[in-house]
Structure formats: structure tokens, C-alpha cells
Amino acid sequence: MKASETSIRNLLEGTKQFQVPLFQRPYSWNKDYWDALWNDLMSIYKGEIEGFYFLGPIVTQAVSGTADGISAFLIIDGQQRLTTLSILLATLRDKLRQDNNDLAEELHEYYLINKFKNNDDFFKILPTKTDRESYRSIIKNNGQDNNSKGKINDAYEHFTKKLEEKSLKNLSFCEKLKSIILEKLIIVNITSDEKDNPYLIFESLNNKGQELTQADLVRNYIFMKLPIDNREEQYNQLWRPLEDKFKTEVGDKYSEELTNAFWFYLRKDGKSVQQKYVYQSLKKRFDQNQNNLLEELQLLVKFSNYYQRFNFPQKEESNSKFKEYFNNLLRLDFKTSHIFLLNIYNDYENGKISEQDFEKILLYLESYFVRRLFSRVSTQSLGGIINNLYAEIKKAESSSIVDGLYKTLNKFDKNKRWPSDKEFKTKLVNQTIYKGTKNDRNKFLLERLEKYQGKEIVDFSTLTIEHIMPQKIKDEWKKKLGDDHSSNHTKWLHTLGNLTLTAYNSELSNKSYSEKLEYLKKSNLYLNHDFREIDKWNFETIQDRANRLADIAIKVWPRQQC
């Protein structure tokens, strides 16, 4: 490796090209970074910083087999700084062109393009594929008619505004700024030999997690190890479509979500892996399978696609029944189940289980979690249970995976138990279920009870949970409830029997039961049909209704074998 101190002018002059590897993350600097760079430049301009300004290191590696006359280098580290400076030079060029200044063409031909080269060789900086269209448009079209969106375009617009604020008709500002960028900004250019392992350098600079997510590190490591003549094809076919789908779902946080997908993948076979060690664990796995790198990559992408179906079922899952179950698990905040379901989905895709068997598995899982949730079984052991569940099923002597799952869940006891009908019903009838920050789980419970009884399609988004006996009781309620109203009100207020769904929560508020009944009788929900036969509301009727609803819940979330 060779390290040399140099200016931006010396770095860019000549027929050179600095390539951002296609598999690295896209350009990601934002306003904070752009402003920091601009403020430093203004400090130099005002004389507040004397002499040269050290911008940091840029690590590159010479590329062999390039077009005749092009000195090409891979940017191992420093793509954000170098790309930003190139965009800033383009905005400065465009400002100078407005005044027909010859400096504009000097900037363009010496520091932005390789004038006599074609296609991609034309550009001094070649960003990753995601950013190339925006970057090409800025460099070739001078920033005009650029309809593309993204950070590259945002940076161009940001620096354009900065120049408009500062320069106005002051050409000397632009000329001085051009000299500052080219002459005063100093970098240490570390160039590795073709025989050096670029990823060892990259890893030593970035694996501390200060800038890149673990998914970024995983991607870069995998594609550095793939044969160079196969990288672009596999990136376009496998990795980029995966990243694009995550970007569609979660935007700028896609890399963190992708890291989470990898974490679930690593645990699907029962191994305990901490999330902060996702990169190290995958690196080890790929190192151990040097001869099957592509197969390992295909597996990682395949299971990450399964992860998307569980977490974004509305867009990613085509089977309507699976979609409903996946949504249910998300609403219950039972994402831990996805570790187990990764294997189940793979078995389904490979034809090892039928659609009907998959539905039974999803029903068992939902029943297991709902019964534990509303029976107040400790959740501390749940992660370990789900982590090892698939392995335990494989060990069981069963005729099918469905049968194995049922037998495995059925044999659990103590804190691993699948609550019985008796325990489930007793807890549903008697315990408080409406409290804390998980009230959507309670709404989910009521919605599922309604769906089981009713056949009509209901827009549940317009409905909220209503307490029949209100949370604050007036004198009329106290009189109806009797002398022990205070303690019993506390005991039964948030229980299942006293809860329903309505679209009139604000209208009902703490009205009397007779007034609420006028609304409830008009309701089309099966959940509210009981009220047509109940003339008074007290602690006995609350218990009676809870018992009826609990009997339905036992059918909705069965424990017997389907």
C-alpha cells in the first residue's frame, strides 16, 4: 500500500476514474454533512482557517484490465466525500457558465469528465448503480431537466442554493471557491496494490459500526468475495431487488430492517445470535463456505424475502389467508414467531407442506400466543421456545410437521405451557385485559370474536373499544350498581364482559346504560346482539357476557388438534 498527501486538483487531474463498487451503499450524506463541508469552506474563504485543510483519507485500489488510457480505481473508503466534492464542483461549474466564464469549462473538462472517453469512462467519478442516473444527469446536463430524486440530486440543489446566496453577480467568489476546493483541501490518498485484499482495509475502517450498518458490511463483504466477473450479474439479480423492496417498505431505514432480516435468518436453526453480531456471524458462515458463496447468497436472499412477507404482508404476500394470519401476528406483536415461520415457509415453498397444513400451523401459533397472553403466562422464555421450536419438531416422532408442532406445543408445561380451555376461560372472564400500551391487542381480541360470529365485512378501522360500565361513574350508575359499586367497579371495569366495539365512543362516554342501549341495539355487530336481551347492566351481567365471549374465544383459538 502507498499513502501520499495530495490536493483535490492532483487527485482528479488526468484521465482517471474513481469507481464506487456497485454493491456499496448508495450516496447517503444529508444536509448536516453538506452544511459542515460548506461551513469549513467558508471558514477558509474568510481566512479563519489558514493554510491547507485536511479533509481525511481516501482509500482506493487500482483496477486492472481497464480501457486504454484510463487509470481506474475502486473507492474502498471515502466515496461520500469524493462524490460530494464532485457534485459541489458541478454546481460551481453551472454557476460560472451563467456568466460565460472560461473557468466553467476548465472545471468540467479537467475535474468532472474524461473528455475523449465514451459511456461510463466519460465520468471522473462513477457512483454506485442506484445513484448513476442522477449523477450522470448532473454532470452531462448541467443539472438541468433532472427529474430524478434522491440524495445526489438533493445535494446538487442544496449547493446550488448556497452559491446563489453567496455569489449573486460576484464572480470573484466563485473563482476563489474553485481555488479553495482544488488547492486548499488536502487528502491522504491510500492506494492499495491489486494483490492486496481490499476488504481487509475496508473492514478495518468501517466495522466499528460508526457509519455503516451491519447489512452494509455484509453486502460489501459478500460481493468483495464473489468473482469480479460475476458480481454485477448477481447484484442485479439478487441483492438490488431485495434492497429495493425494503426501501419501498421502510424508506431510509431499509438497511436497519435488512439487518434485522439477517438476524432472524441466523437464528432460524436454533442458534443464539446477538443482533450486534449479525455481520460477524454471516462473515464466518461465508468464510466456511468459500466454494459455495453463490448458494449461501441465494439462501440469504430467499429467507430475507420470506421475512418481508411476514413483516409487510399487505404488499408482499399474495395468499389472502396467509396474509391475514401474518397481519394478526404483527398486531399481537408476536414477531418472534417469524424465526420459526422462516423454516415453515421454506417447507411450503419446497412442497413439503400443503397450504391447508400451513394454515393449521399458523392457527396453532396464534392460539399458543393468544392463550398465553391473556392467561398472563410469563413471556421471558418465549424467545428461547420459538428459537428451538423447529428443531424440536424435527426430533419428534410425527407423521407430519403439523402433527409434530401440535404434539410439541401440547407437551409443554410450566412457563412453556399452552393454557388449557379452563385456564384460558377463567382468565378471560375474571382478569383485567384493558390496560397499558397494548390496547390494540384487546381490540384485536374483540375483532376476532366478531369475525368468528359474523359473516358481513366490517370496517374495524372506524370502531373503538367501548366500556359499557364507564370508566368514571356518576351517581346514577352508582345507584344502579349498589353499595359495593366502588370495589366491583375497579374489579370488573376492564374485563372482557364489559368491553365491546362501537363507532360511537365519544357519544356514549359515561352515559347511563339505558342511553347507551339505544345505540347498541342499532349496531349490526354480532358482538352487540346480546344487549338486545339485556335490560340492565351490573356485575352479574358483565360476568355472564364474559362467559359467553370466552366460550367463543376457545373456539377461535382452539387447543385441540385440527
Number of H helices, E strands in the chain: 27, 8
Predicted pLDDT at 436: 60
Predicted pLDDT at 202: 57
Q: Are 332 and 370 in contact (CB under 8 A)?
A: yes
Q: Which amino acid is at 383?
A: G
Between vectors from CA 249 to CA 248 and to CA 253, what angle results, nearest 5°? 95
Closest listed residue to residue 124, CA positions, set 176, 60, 183, 200: 60
In which region does residue 14 sit, left (phi positive, over 0), alpha (psi from -120 to 50) or beta (all else)? Answer: left
Kind and range of the H or E run holding 54: strand 53-62
Which residue bears the cell 460576484?
Answer: 170
Closest listed residue to residue 352, CA positions, set 316, 394, 315, 392: 394
N-to-C CA span, the chain:
66
Local structure of 536: helix, strand or coil: coil
Residue 237 buriedness (CB in 10 A; 0-12 / 13-18 / 19+): exposed
Give the Cα separation of 221 and 261 in Å (integer): 17
Predicted pLDDT at 8: 94
Give the Cα separation of 75 and 6 in Å (integer): 16
In which region does residue 294 sit, left (phi positive, over 0), alpha (psi from -120 to 50) or beta (all else)? Answer: alpha
| CA torsion, ordered 121, 127, 128, 129, to nearest 10 deg | -60
Give the Cα separation of 241 and 215 in Å (integer): 15
Q: Which amino acid is at 315?
A: K
Flag residues of the chain having pLDDT under 70: 1, 23, 65-68, 142-148, 167-170, 193-211, 436-438
pLDDT (tens digit, 9 = 90+) per residue, 22-58? 767 789 899 999 999 999 999 999 888 877 888 888 8
**What DSSP assignment string belongs to 475-503?**
HHHHHHH-TTHHHHHHHHTTSGGGEEEES
pLDDT (tens digit, 9 = 90+) per residue, 279-328? 999 999 998 887 889 999 999 999 999 999 999 999 999 999 999 999 99
Predicted pLDDT at 66: 57
Contacts of 551 (CB under 8 A, 6+ apart): 425
Local structure of 466: helix, strand or coil: strand
Predicted pLDDT at 207: 44
Predicted pLDDT at 210: 41
Which residue bears the cell 370508566?
Answer: 471
Q: Which amino acid is at 197?
A: N
CA 4 to chain centre: 40
Q: Are 112 and 9 in contact (CB under 8 A)?
A: no
